[in-house]
Amino acid sequence: MSVLRSGYVRPTSLGEALQLLAQPGARPMGGGTDLAGLIDRGIGQVATIVDLQALALGGIRGEEGRVVIGATTTLSDLLDAQDMLAPYTALLEATAQAASPLLRNVGTVAGNLCQHTRCWYYRGPEWTCWLGGGDTCYAQVGDHRKHGLQAGDCISAHPSDLAPALIACAATVQLGSAWGDRDIDLADLYRRPTATERSLVDLEPGEIILSVTLPAPPDSSVYLRAGERQGFSFPLVGLAAARHGERVSMCAVGVANTPHVLDPVDPLAGLDGHPQSAWKRTVLATLVERSLATVAP
């Protein structure tokens, strides 16, 4: 097995990779589009990068009425599988709007789901914000016009386009570590940060996503978003809706720390906003109205 040391390692088996990731300071890398920026800004302690690209964790396959998507499948791979993914309209629409064509060629499904917030106070090297281990959420005392609507110690907004689409379609994820595998609902991958656990992703140390599974497709689904421009940008507000029979599932991003599951009857509940970000309530309400009209029978 490869010896873990400062730098970079590219294991050739999943078992080897999980053993390496179990060691302190090891971080997994799929496409690296988010990890590279985090390292550049000194966010988190990274002793060794464990490259997952040689582990055959990519690919999309049908399996007994379900669709299984490998962790290192790229976003471009999703768009190339339109025949298989056509029943999951929300996922294809979300993927087409995520990032840019060049980044979609590299960025992976697991990486998109686990990416860190784009909050400029979290990313900026001149601050150590509350989420980054400090004492202050600078967004709440500074510029927070693009931040979340949910009160808390951190008001950063979740940036993944894929997450709400997959959650609305009732996706599950398989997680793997040196101690074994487990399956959870994708919605349970995320958690609101606390004083003792300042992380937005509920993974155990050394644990990674192995695959995402979509169950039987919904009767109808859609992904809508508001952004600063048509080209590459992160969602200011993104909303996925999926209808299974008479039941509608909805999930939004850009409004809370994590992908936020909405009650279609009262979608703005708990999302009161802050002085500069309250405009997102109007945007979210509009997207909810449009999505319900789209998925209606």
Q: What is the pLDDT along the chain (297 residues), one digit of tens a residue?
A: 344 445 999 999 999 999 999 999 999 999 999 999 999 888 888 999 999 999 999 999 999 999 999 999 999 999 999 999 999 999 999 999 999 999 999 999 999 999 999 999 999 989 999 999 999 999 999 999 999 999 999 999 999 999 999 999 999 999 999 999 999 999 999 999 999 999 999 999 999 999 999 999 999 999 999 998 766 789 999 999 999 999 999 999 999 999 999 999 999 999 999 999 999 999 999 999 999 999 999
> 249: how many CB neighbours lie within 10 A of its CB?
22
Spell out the domains of the chain, with CATH numbers in brackets.
57-295 (3.30.465.10)
Alpha-carbon 72 to chain mean position = 14
Pairing assessment for the beta strands 260-262 and 247-253 based on DSSP bridges: antiparallel
CA distance linking residue 46 with residue 57, whole number of Å:
22
Closest CA to 160 of 168, 68, 152: 168
| Overall pTM > 0.85 | yes
Q: HSE (CB half, 13 Å, CA atoms) of 153?
A: 17
